[in-house]
Chains A and B, each alone.
Chain A
């Protein structure tokens, strides 16, 4: 049975906070990167922004598994997504929507002209878990 993303994660994916991604090469070397955007495609898929890191691109084509942490700072939680790479898109509605969001993120963070979407990488959701934490005393 497919793993489905809960509705509660939708606003977290749109919060503009960078996410953390880990991949692994075929020869077993992990790679940890920061990504600008995790885009909701449908209940069972997300798209990740491919901007700079060719190592991540190479890794997921050799070994499709990926681990992404999405931060919900206001909600005192992080969401853990285990993903499997399916395909990459360089045009079409998903790419266009992500490109527009990347421009907005770049503008808001002073990175205009540096952040540029090269591809939308589409992943199937293998698992999703919410981890909550507490305010400090």
Chain B
């Protein structure tokens, strides 16, 4: 199971990015606009905006390897989730609600740094979801900057 501490973190985090790789071991990055933990406590559903899914499906079909890094900015608390692709689907209205909550958290967190006039562009930074995929999380790593960065928090299948 994904630890409760991490589930609480996911409920306050506001920035995400995913990584895959193709059959030639070339890495590909994908902007992330939402995430949620399934009721089984092991599966992470990750949302991507339009334009962020290049090479994604062919990489999943080739090898299924996925890494997702999620951060609470500007506090810099960050964790990386590694696992296996389970399935993907087009985004649905419920996904857009998840993204909207993350967008609100991002704007609330960054606006004091960026200034009031920046609100429209901060909102646009978190784009609406177009695609959702599920990951069976197997490992979680600390990536918060500092001496503990890189430590494995959960070993093997969660």
Contact = CB atoms under 8 A, between A and B. Distances in A.
Tell whether A and B belong to one assembly. Answer: yes
B25 A20 contact: no
A88 B41 CA distance: 41
B65 interface: yes
Contact of A34 (B51, B65, B69, B125): B69
A52 B121 contact: no
Given A31-B80, A73-B121, A55 B27 contact: no
Interface string B60-82: 00010111110101101010101
Given A29-B82, A134-B124, A54 B150 contact: yes
A53 B71 CA distance: 15
Given A31-B80, A32-B68, A51-B145, A135 B73 contact: no
Contacts of B88: none
Interface residues of B, number: 42
B120 interface: yes
A69 B31 contact: yes
Interface in B82-133: 82, 114, 118, 120-125, 127-128
B20 A30 contact: yes
Given A30-B27, A31-B67, A54-B150, A69 B17 contact: yes
A136 B29 contact: no
A71 interface: yes
Contacts of B71: 18, 34
Contacts of B51: 131, 133
B29 A52 contact: no
Contacts of B49: 133
B26 interface: yes
Instruction: Give the residue among B19, B29, B63 with the most A Cβ atoms within 10 A.
Output: B29
A32 B122 contact: no
Instruction: Give the residue among A23, A32, A71, A74 with the most B Cβ atoms within 10 A.
Output: A32
A32 B145 contact: no
Given A111-B76, A115-B145, 18 more contacts: A20-B29, A22-B21, A28-B25, A28-B63, A30-B66, A32-B69, A32-B80, A53-B150, A55-B141, A63-B25, A67-B26, A67-B28, A67-B29, A73-B114, A109-B76, A131-B51, A133-B127, A136-B128
- What are the 3 tightest A-B residue pairs by CB atom distance, in nearest-first order? A22-B19, A32-B19, A52-B149
Interface of B: 17-21, 25-29, 31, 49, 51, 63, 65-69, 71, 73-74, 76, 78, 80, 82, 114, 118, 120-125, 127-128, 141, 143, 145-146, 149-150
